[in-house]
Structure 1
């Protein structure tokens, strides 16, 4: 108790105090990272998706080859060499390694080796006998130099030739160019129609939206594949009819997505503020609301490309494709299917290209979808 009284009785003169840091401002330390925009954040996340990056490079390489590939080896896509029909692949340099050397393993009668295949037998792999109707025939499994057999020792067809002697390398990349052009152009047109239609429907709402959605339901109720086939059969085969056929119903999915985006954003405060300031509908639609849907638009368009390419290839495979002699991937697959067992290379290479396109576009689109997902913003 006495200690407390002693403290109370202590008198300290105010002159004994002095201000510390009188002329300095004392503030809390500010922690702030670099501001990152939406698209920059999306690209940072996209770059971390290794599968999508690899898929993007594959797509780029195929596009470049579709542009320059047909002019790389001196043959045109319509040039025919009947005497050199169905030649296997032969590539300079690789032939010395025993691959892509223009040879083919064949089962031939032993009696024909010295007659039909004289000087063309590279190696005999096996000998066996077969019996048919009581008679025995000696057979030989031999590796035959097809180029020498057809007097084409000085020529090279990197991926072989088709049934009428056309260079498969040139036709493959020419066909890839056609398929990519049809797929990408149809998606771009569908995207434009879908964005405009969905923006008007979602922005105005009410009876305008109701009428426009009923029209979509009527068009969407017709089986799209049947509609495309009938349209192509009516207009005939060709690039333009193909593109027109695929935009009959292809824009519906894009329009519905855009409509949903407009319903989501048109009631936001910044849109209401712009409307209060007298902004026109066109400004509100294309400047304030639509930019928020850029991510979903890019993603859906990318994922739609493989579907368009597959549709073109499927119809071409059915014989409703591009007019001869213009190739496409579907046309090449249809031609190769006729001789699949004896000459599989005619089907193998187009199948590899379309498989790479399907897989790469889907992986690339999935990467974009995850990158533009606003719920993942700021996450690793």
Structure 2
């Protein structure tokens, strides 16, 4: 499986010296932060590693009350002091929070990549998903029971990089003073540094030929990349929303190529290490309703990361198909890896294995350590198993009802209460 060899600082000096950078990383040296439970967590890019903006917050029911309902306290470095303040966000039972990284991107590195500072007495079960654009989500597992970190390696490709993180409380602690997960901060231990360059510095209006100021700006970038031969660089073009969307996409593509071509010729990158993307007006970082906002959106972003090391072909990626909540069976999770579909349900710590016989019907077996009836044969070294079927309301798999039986019986013994998707 591909892994990233990571260094704590990709740049020889601070990017804050750039007059042309909209969002220059300020905390580029590594630092350890208290985890709220007596330990520490190290982040190679320091303050740059943490979420910068709240995209959305939907409190669960019940919620945490006015004292812990401000989502902005989940941004930046962790600053919760036990028994002294309430500088954390309570998601509420089933609540959802989406945040964005502005000056870095989440990537896969060796070991854990993503950390949620959950500061309650226990790490309450919380599902996590990541996205590049804030619309298409990849589920990457969950934190619970003292585990607040996630390794995204099984779920994403080695070249993927993400700007958005979604947290969804899994409704397991709903009757306390602060129901649901209590979030102090969200950080990317696996971080790629990002530099946003003002298009006005690089190009004349509407053009994609680099001007003199652009050459000088890119020379500054080259001087500050510490190990270009060991690095990979993605150049992404962005525009404001003025004009035709297709023309804006073409302009962003040509500008990204112009920057990439200059860096390929003048920096010591390996063959194929510099790639381009064109987003046009589709990923604004500010409102297009004002000139100041439009100016921020007209940019070229450089994302610098270490070259991945290939350890072998690796296993197929795991796709988490969904996480559902049922009153009778707790949290149910299904995932697909290759041709295999497996799952887990929390009510009795049971596992599931089977296949989708139709787009909206899963058939297989449940297996657990103990039940009311032992079978004559074993499944996965257990005598306690039986057939089961999950019937979903649609191919979107949002709601299902489950039916179960013991051993190799042909008739259903009972059903699970309706389960609804949480993530």
Short-chain TM bin: under 0.3
Greater relative contact order (CA < 8 Å, ≥ 6 in sequence) = 1
- The structure number with the bigger radius of gyration is 1
* Bigger proportion of residues as helix: 1
TM-score, normalisation: structure 2: 0.19
* Bigger proportion of residues as strand: 2
